Each structure stands twice: as C-alpha cells, then as structure tokens.
A and B are shown apart, each in its own frame.
Chain A
Amino acid sequence: MFNLPESVDKPDFSLGNILTGLKVQSRVIYALILRDAQTRYGRHQLGFLWLFIEPLFFVLMFILFKVYMREKDTGGMHSAYFMTSGLVPFLLFRQLMQNMGKCIDNSRQLLAFPQVTTFDVLLATIIIEFAATLFVFVSLVVGISLLDVPPNIEDPLMLLIGIFLLGITGAGVGLIFGSLSPLYPSLKTITNPLLGRPLFITSGIFFSAEMLPAGLREYALYNPLLHMVEIVRSAFFIEFESRYIDWHYACLFALGLFLCGLLCHQVFRNEVMKRG
C-alpha cells in the first residue's frame, strides 16, 4: 500500500507549479479585496462617507484657524492642499497600524480554506487601504481645485513613494503590535494613546519642519514620519522643497519596521491562531 513515487520526496519548484501557485494566490487576494470592500464600504453608504469625514473635518478646521489668524497660506503653500497632503497620507499610516492586527482576527474563519493564508489577508488589507487613501486624496484635491485653484503637482511618483513609505511603516508597526497582542492583551489598548496620538501631533501634519524653531526641529526630526510627510509635501508643491528630508533615515525606518513586522507575524502566528 505504501510504495511512494519518488517525486513526492522533493517539493516541486518547476515554473509551471510556481505559476499555478501565483494564479491561486492572486485569485484569493482578489476575492479578499472584494469581500473587504463589501463589508467595509459597501453595506451602507455611510461606510463610504466615513472615509471622508475625518480628513474633511481637519481640513476645514485648519482653514478656519488660518482665517482666524488672518493668514492667507501656510509657509507659502495653499492651506487646504497643505492639510490634505499631510493628513491623508498620515491617516494611511494610522489606519494600517490599527488594522493589521485586527484583519487577521476578522478573517480567522476564512483560514479554514487551505488556499487562504494570513499572508493573503495582510496583503489584501494593505492594498485596500492604499487604494482607499489614494481615492480620498484624489477626491479632496479635485474638490479643492473645483472650489478654489487647481494644484500644481510637482512629482507624482515621489508623492506615491512618500505615501507608500508611510503605509508600510504603519503596516510594520501594526504587525508588531498585532502579533504581540495575544501575548500581552493590554498592548491593544495602549497603541493609539501611546503612538497614534503623539505621532498625529508631531509628524508634521499641521506644520512643516521649516516652521519649527531650530531647537525643537532638531528633536522633531527624530520622528521618521515627519520626514515622510515632508517627502509627500515636497513632491506635491512646486513652491516647497524641504531641506530637512533624510531619505536614508525614512526608508530605513519604513523597510526595517515592515520587515520586523513580517518577522513578528511569522514567529507568533501560531500563538495568535491558538488563542482565538
């Protein structure tokens, strides 16, 4: 009964096999994305509007504040665009930081399907958050240009890179916290007050590094997110070019945290599954 064919002993790494694997994986990710879009934004129209509420609120508050201060712009930049270009990419960071741990919890049921892995779930979440961010970003820019002046976007590619860096940093932090939270449940409750809120204030959403007093700036620049926000703004505005961007520092942090997050996930995955 047990005469085994020899091919069983070695895994099959032939090109055909890899291609089939990729095909299955992209099918799974596509299905996950559609499912996610449905649960999160599709069920009622409000879910979709919710995407816009926070950015709109802060952009409006910022403009009101500027009007109150009798300032026309922000360091030479259009205030509404200034706020949009800082806030929306930052929200991607925060969103991914908060969702990476949760998305596995939410899809636990689906892991009963052998072709669905936690990796697919993570990737689908990252893709959908990126898409949502780009959608909000473009909508706000179109909205502002209809109401006021059209923007002069300097370098769309660099803009995307900046947003990408913020995204994977968020994903990395989210994965680290998400992987450790089954072991230390209290981590869940402190992520936002400990990281989200301070970073919201210090990452240059409401200011650019240029505007800070020199003494404060020195410390603020330790925050890698500030560099990333500066990258986004420098790419967005022709009239603005930050002198304080350290590309190495920003990229190293983003990639380092992301890899670290993936590693944590890999190591603690079984633990997460068991505790349910």
Chain B
Amino acid sequence: MIRLENVSKSYRTNSGTNHVLRNVNIEFPDSRSIGILGLNGTGKSTLIRILGKAEQPDSGRIFCDTRVSWPLGYSGGFQNNLTARENCKFVARIYGESPKYVEEFTCEFAELGEYFDMPMRFYSAGMRARFAFAVSFACNFECYLVDEALETGDARYKEKFRLAFEERRNGCSVILVSHNESTIRRTCDSAAVLENGELTLYDNLKEAFQVYKFLQSRAA
C-alpha cells in the first residue's frame, strides 16, 4: 500500500504559486489498480513522481510498504548515451536483481531487435516506452507507476502489455496517469481525480468519470 499523509507540493510560476497538492491524505491499496484523472497541468505527473519518491514533497510524508517501480514515462530513468543493454544492467544492479536475467528478459520482451545495442538517444518515444516497460517487468515490482507511457507504441504491443499486466493482476497493481478513457477503463478498477490540489479517490470508475467529465465541460 502507498499512503500519502498531509502531502503538499507547490511550484512558483510567473503568475504566482501553483498548488499541485494541498494537504493530501490518501491511501492506494495494494489490491487495486488506480487511474489518475485530471485536466492538463493539474499536476498528475508530479503526483506520480512523488509517489515514486523521485521528487520530494514540500511537506508531509509518503508511507509505502510495497516494491514500487520508478515512474514509467516518456523519459526519465535512462541514460541516453548508453545502449538499452547497458541501461538494463544498471537498473538491475540498483534494484539488486540479476543483471543477466534482466538483460535477457528485456531483450526478449521489448522486441527492439538490433536497437537493443544502440545508444538510447536514437530511440523513438514508442521504443523508449517499450523498453521502460520491459525492464520494469523484469524487476518484478508489486506496484507500477505509469505516466501516460501506455499511449505510445503500436496496437499490437499495447495489447501485449495489457495481457502481461492482466497475467500479473493478482501479484501487482498499477497506478496510471492517462488522458485516454479507454486505457483507464481497460487497466484500472477505480480512479482518483486530481483537481485544484485535492485528490479524491472514487470506488468505481463510473463515478470518477462523471466528475472528470464535469470538470472538462466546466473548463471548456
């Protein structure tokens, strides 16, 4: 479970302070996969980074007793001048996994072909996302933090991931930021809405989407 206790985070912008999270108290249970909805710029990515402890909140505490992945997104985590193979080994080492196993698993799962031995600066966004998923799968996390990255890549590969996630459903959960309603419907069983610094968790997707649609229509 990941629990946020009185977590606040704000950014200073030219026009004043933007409160991304205000005293948020929430608990993400292990057993559920949760989608995070919110309009552009409300701070969904920041929230994911805070959950993954890649960023410090201004105040408050994050309590976590599961093995959580790093935030999987378009970028981040990988060294562009290293090849995918070298990046694999690095990730394996810092998570205490066997470098050889992670390398083999990723090589097979990511289907990058000869690109696997090319520096990652030559990768497209889709290839990056594919690689990130494959490596994180090799590391056997209990909770995967996903920042929109599921949107990239071709349909066949998306399907492959969905199946892989499905297979692990009992063993792991996903916290997913996405703009794509169908992605969330397919992957998650509940959703939280982030708005104006407040994060509300809804037990069923229907309710969450109603709130989200209302916000969207109000913004438009």
In the complex, the chain A residue whose C-beta lies closest to that of B51 is A114
**B6-37 toward A: CB 8 Å interface, digit per residue (1/0)?**
00000000000000000001010000000000
The answer to whether A39 and B79 have CB atoms under 8 Å apart is yes
CB of A262 closer than 8 Å to a CB of B: no
CB of A31 closer than 8 Å to a CB of B: yes
Please tell me the number of chain A residues within 8 Å of chain B, measured between CB atoms. Answer: 22
Identify which of A1, A24, A34, A114 contacts B70 (C-beta below 8 A). Answer: A114
The answer to whether B78 and A111 have CB atoms under 8 Å apart is no
CB of B142 closer than 8 Å to a CB of A: no
**A1-32 toward B: CB 8 Å interface, digit per residue (1/0)?**
11010001000000000000000100110110
Of residues 35 through 84 on chain B, the ones whose CB sits less than 8 Å from some CB of chain A are 49, 52-54, 61, 63, 68, 70-71, 75-82
Identify which of B5, B80, B86 contacts A109 (C-beta below 8 A). Answer: B80
Identify which of B86, B89, B94 contacts A28 (C-beta below 8 A). Answer: B94
CB of A35 closer than 8 Å to a CB of B: yes
What is the distance, in angstroms, from A117's C-beta to the closest C-beta of chain B? 11
The answer to whether A110 and B77 have CB atoms under 8 Å apart is yes
What is the distance, in angstroms, from A246's C-beta to the closest C-beta of chain B? 42
CB of B161 closer than 8 Å to a CB of A: no
B68: A residues at CB distance < 8 A: 114
Q: Quick one: given A38-B82, A113-B54, are A31 and B5 in contact (CB under 8 Å)?
A: no
What is the distance, in angstroms, from B23's C-beta to the closest C-beta of chain A? 13
Q: Quick one: given A109-B79, A109-B80, are A35 and B86 in contact (CB under 8 Å)?
A: yes
What is the distance, in angstroms, from A142's C-beta to the closest C-beta of chain B? 31
The answer to whether B54 and A112 have CB atoms under 8 Å apart is yes
Please tell me the number of chain B residues within 8 Å of chain A, measured between CB atoms. Answer: 29
The answer to whether B27 and A35 have CB atoms under 8 Å apart is no
In the complex, the chain A residue whose C-beta lies closest to that of B79 is A109
CB of A161 closer than 8 Å to a CB of B: no
A107: B residues at CB distance < 8 A: 79
Alpha-carbon gap, A116 to B86, bound state (A): 17
The answer to whether A1 and B79 have CB atoms under 8 Å apart is no
In the complex, the chain B residue whose C-beta lies closest to that of A8 is B63
CB of A202 closer than 8 Å to a CB of B: no
CB of A115 closer than 8 Å to a CB of B: yes
Give 5 CB contacts A-B under 8 Å.
Answer: A27-B93, A27-B96, A28-B93, A110-B79, A113-B94
Task: Show the binding face of A for B, using Cβ within 8 Å.
Answer: 1-2, 4, 8, 24, 27-28, 30-31, 34-35, 38-39, 107, 109-116
Task: Show the binding face of B for A, using Cβ within 8 Å.
Answer: 3, 5, 25, 27, 49, 52-54, 61, 63, 68, 70-71, 75-82, 86, 89-91, 93-96
Starting from the known contacts A4-B5, A112-B77, 12 additional A-B residue pairs (CB-CB under 8 Å) come to A8-B5, A28-B94, A31-B94, A34-B90, A39-B81, A107-B79, A109-B79, A111-B54, A112-B49, A112-B76, A114-B52, A114-B68
